């Protein structure tokens, strides 16, 4: 099983960017935790961080070739990108949307997700654990779909 992990814009600044909101862990720390969990689950991860909407869309499109699902933190694109939403919808893979902070307890413009309606689920507010919970959930969803 192979899962694409996508990190959206500004997540490369984790650990330095607003640690009171996003925590002190770096993106490298989060990726290491995900890799460790992937070994436990026995799945392969392909990980990409980009500040470019087009690059994220290209990765979503390419995932159709060899991935079974997508774990994604679209970051600010969550609230603005119909293009990413359409790409997720078009590839037909299960997607779990994750966020470090609870987007529903923040500014009003962060309350709506363009991605959630085409994702199998959303996990937010648990810091780096949001990613780990999301990976476990996605792994189980894919496993159930493959067994059916």
37 CB-contact burial (10 Å; exposed 0-12 / middle 13-18 / buried 19+) = middle
Marked catalytic residue, from 7, 68, 77, 99: 99
Residue 99: Cβ within 10 Å count: 26
Phi/psi class of residue 97: alpha, beta or left (left: φ > 0; alpha: ψ in -120 to 50)? beta
Q: Is 125 helix (H, G, I), strand (E, B) or coil?
A: coil
Marked catalytic residue, from 22, 68, 77, 131: 22
Answer yes or no: 22 catalytic: yes
Answer yes or no: 131 catalytic: no
Q: What is the CA radius of gyration of the chain?
A: 14
Active-site positions?
A: 22, 99
């Amino acid at each position: 099983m192979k899962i694409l992990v996508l990190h959206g814009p500004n997540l490369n600044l984790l650990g330095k960017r607003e640690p009171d909101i996003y925590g002190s862990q770096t993106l490298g720390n989060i990726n290491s935790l995900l890799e460790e969990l992937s070994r436990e689950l026995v799945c392969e991860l392909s990980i990409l961080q980009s500040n470019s909407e087009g690059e994220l869309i290209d990765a979503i499109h390419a995932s159709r070739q060899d991935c079974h699902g997508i774990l994604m933190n679209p970051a600010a694109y969550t609230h603005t990108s119909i293009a990413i939403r359409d790409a997720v919808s078009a590839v037909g893979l299960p997607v779990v949307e994750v966020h470090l902070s609870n987007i529903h307890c923040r500014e009003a413009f962060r309350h709506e997700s363009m991605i959630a309606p085409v994702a199998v689920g959303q996990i937010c507010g648990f810091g780096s654990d949001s990613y780990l919970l999301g990976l476990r959930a996605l792994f189980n969803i894919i496993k159930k779909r493959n067994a059916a």
